[in-house]
Amino acid sequence: MMCWQVEELEEKLLDQTREVERLRSELGATDLEKQLELLLVENERLKQELKSCRSSELQKLDTAAETCSCSHCPFSQVRTRYRCAQVRYEAGVFLNPDCVLQDLEESRRRQEETEQKLALRLQECEAELARQAAAPPKVKYVTQTVEVESADSHRVLAEMQTKNGALQEQLSVQRQLLRELETQLHESQRTCAQLRTQILVYEGEMERAQGQLEVEMQNLEEEKNREIEEAFLRAESEMKAVHENLAGVRMKMLSLQRALRTLTNDYKCLKRQVQDFPFMLDKAITEAKQEICLVIGEVSSTNQELLRKYKREMNLRKKCHNELVRLKGNIRVFCRVRPVSQEEQDSTDAKTMLSFDSDDDAILYLSNKGKIMTFELDKVFPPQATQEEVTADLQALITSCIDGFNVCIFAYGQTGSGKTYTMEGVADDPGINQRALRLLFSEVTEKAPDWDYKISVSMVEIYNETLRDLLGENPTDKLDIKMNPDGSGQLYVPGLTNFTVQSPEDINRVFELGHMNRATACTNLNEHSSRSHALLIITVSGFNSATGNRTQGKLNLVDLAGSERIGKSGAEGSRLREAQCINKSLSALGDVINALRSKHSHVPFRNSRLTYLLQDSLSGDSKTLMMVQVSPLPANMSESVCSLKFAQRVRSVELSSSSSRRHENSSTSSSPTHDSVEVTGEFCCCCW
């Protein structure tokens, strides 16, 4: 729009210039000058107009550069509206379509205004031109003869030419200016075109943004409606729940009010009781004290009565037990038949000559030279009997030492018949020794805390009539047996080591020590153990703090030396002496038992170290068990017959009361006398 306006003005300027030329050629110098001045004035006006036109264009740009007041536009605080739009266009950001629309509208409006102004101005210019064209020429055409060659004319012409030159110069300056203006105008037009393009882009963006906005608005609207619907439904259900809760709370409130009333009443009642409590407490304490005193008195007298009854019952029990023992016989004889070993099965005739009665476990049959011999004992253990079963049958006997009885358990039999197996056992299947101690531990634990028991053990060996301490520091030292100087009439072994044991671990340690000492004292342990007696002496002392009662019992577990008749096989030297010593002690044991059975007034305890040491455990109300070990092999048949005959005789012996018998306990000599049995050679149980 501005371009054609400027072109028109330029054309006008050219026309004016042409008019000036024409007038100059037609008019004289004075008129020409006047006309020139007029034209210059017109020229100046046109320049002004052009200038104002230019400034209007600039103002348009300035107007577009007003500060953007859009509240959503992030650039509004720092940018003009024009710059803001430009920046947003460049950045591809169209955050506020309203703002762009507003800019566009404003720009259009201003352009229209400018167009109107320029159209108006054009009309005015055209009217002016028409007016000038219609007006009679101001120049008066004077026909005069000019003396061309006159000096004045030449001078005036020269001056006019000079002026004309000056005017030409001015005209060229004006043209230059006009070109500059044209350039500026072109620049403005280009800017205008850019702005239009931008406007189109903005419009496109706006439409797109508007479309997006509408879609988003629609989505938001739908979401809003959905949310509202959901919220409504939620609120409805919550309201329902709240109503239900409220009803429940109301119900609770009612019940709580009732409870509160009850509590208030209770509280008042309790308050009164608390106030009265100190007095009631004092009274109750006094009454309780009196009652306690009364009860203590009653309990005390009841206790005394119970104690008296208990003592009486204990005595009765002991009497009954003694009577029972007397009735059953206080010497009992068991027999254990060892199994045939794998090697024996492979190497020899393993046919067993022994058989058992399936109805009576006290009967053993022996087939010898075509004859069947029957032996009746207290119990016969077949080869398959376990260590546990054997110990179970001895349980009552073992535990009677807790009640103060002296007990002797002997393992008797020829070498290799299983004596050591029965008494000591093997590592993973211990024998009577270890099982008896464990049993005593469990029994005394059961009796605690009424009874306080102490269990102590000693281990001795009798080899060639010499007594040795297997738990002592010097196991090879010879020990003596003496009368106790306390006047109790009991025998004791001075210097014998006595270990107190409190746990199965202690037992293991004691056995290990005994075994080690026995092994160090000989060259061949197996042979040595066959030729010596091994004794484990367990003493159980008890004290009842309630009754003041004291008990002391002794359990003697004896693994006797082999009973076979070595002397008859022609043994000499040390073997002969060993055999004589074994025979002597086994004969002495047989004599003692025989004397006891026959109720002799004299019992030859002192005939051997063994019987002398066990004197207090063989006499009186002591209990004795003889475990006769038998080999099942036909090769050992004659020894088996001897052992079984001996066992049967022993079984018929009863120990009599100590009071009715004279004991050899007055002497303190350590040497046994040989007053009853002459140890002249072989001991044979069959002959005994």
Ligand X SMILES: Nc1ncnc2c1ncn2[C@@H]1O[C@H](COP(=O)(O)OP(=O)(O)OP(=O)(O)O)[C@@H](O)[C@H]1O
Which residues does 580 contact at the CB level (< 8 Å), separation at least 6?
567, 679, 681
Nearer to ligand X, 205 or 559 (CB): 559
Shortest distance, position 522 Cβ to ligand X, whole Å? 13
**Do residues 685 and 645 make contact, with C-beta atoms less than 8 angstroms apart?**
yes
Q: Minimal distance in Å, beta carbon 429 to ligand X?
A: 9
| Minimum gap (Å) between residue 530 Cβ and ligand X | 3
**Annotated binding residue 92:** no
Nearer to ligand X, 188 or 420 (CB): 420
Q: Which is nearer to ligand X, 5 or 415 (CB)?
A: 415
CA distance 395 to 406: 14
CB atoms within 10 A of CB 197: 11
Residue 420 annotated as part of some ligand binding site: yes
Per-residue DSSP letter, 370:
T
Residue 419 labelled as part of a binding site: yes
Kindly state the smallest distance separating residue 675's Cβ from ligand X, in Å. 29
Q: Which of 568, 575, 591, 581 is nearest to 677 (CA)?
A: 591
Q: Min. distance of Cβ 380 from ligand X in angstroms?
A: 13
Helical ranges in 329-407 per DSSP H: 342-347, 387-399
Residue 472 assigned to a binding site: no
Residue 667 tokens read as: 């002497």
Q: Specify the amino acid at residue 82.
A: Y
The least distance separating ligand X from the CB of residue 518, rounded to whole angstroms, comes to 12
Residue 384: CB atoms within 10 A of its CB come to 8
- Rounded to an integer, what distance in angstroms lies between the CA atom of residue 246 and that of residue 248? 5
Q: Which of 114, 116, 133 is nearest to 12 (CA)?
A: 133
Of residues 6 and 633, the one with the C-beta less far from ligand X: 633
Nearest residue (CB) to ligand X, 178 versus 641: 641
Cβ at position 338, least distance to ligand X in Å: 3
Nearer to ligand X, 181 or 560 (CB): 560
Q: Which position's Cβ is nearest ligand X?
A: 418
CA-CA distances (angstroms) from residue 613 to 133, 493, 537, 672? 178, 8, 10, 10
Q: Is 573 annotated as a binding residue?
A: no
Please identify, using beta-carbon distances, which residue of 341 and 488 lies nearer to ligand X. 341
Pairwise CA distance, residues 628 & 644, whole Å? 7
Cβ 585 to ligand X shortest distance, Å: 14
Could you give the 3-state DSSP secondary structure of residue 196? helix
The distance of closest approach from Cβ of residue 667 to ligand X in the complex, given in angstroms and rounded to an integer, is 32
Q: Both tokens of residue 303?
A: 């206790």
Kindly report the CA angle at 116 between 110 and 119, in degrees rounded to 5? 140
Q: Which is nearer to ligand X, 33 or 393 (CB)?
A: 393
Residues near ligand X (CB under 6 A) are 338-339, 341, 413, 415-421, 529-530, 562, 629
Inter-residue contact 10 to 178 (CB < 8 Å):
yes
Instruction: Kindly tell me which of 528 and 599 has the beta carbon lying closer to ligand X.
Output: 528
∠ CA 232-237-242, nearest 5°, is 120
Residue 475 and residue 521 in contact, taking contact as beta carbons nearer than 8 Å = yes
Per DSSP bridges, beta strands 466-469 and 371-376 are unpaired
Whole-angstrom distance, CA of residue 513 vs CA of residue 505: 13
In angstroms, give the least distance from the CB of 628 to ligand X.
11
Token digits for 91? Answer: 């950045």
**Among residues 100 and 409, whose Cβ is nearest to ligand X?**
409
> What counts of helices (H) and strands (E) characterise the chain?
15, 17
Tell whether 286 is in a known binding site.
no
Cα distance between residue 39 and residue 559, in whole Å: 166
The two beta strands, 379-381 and 331-337, are: parallel
| Known binding-site positions for ATP | 413-420
| Known binding-site positions | 413-420
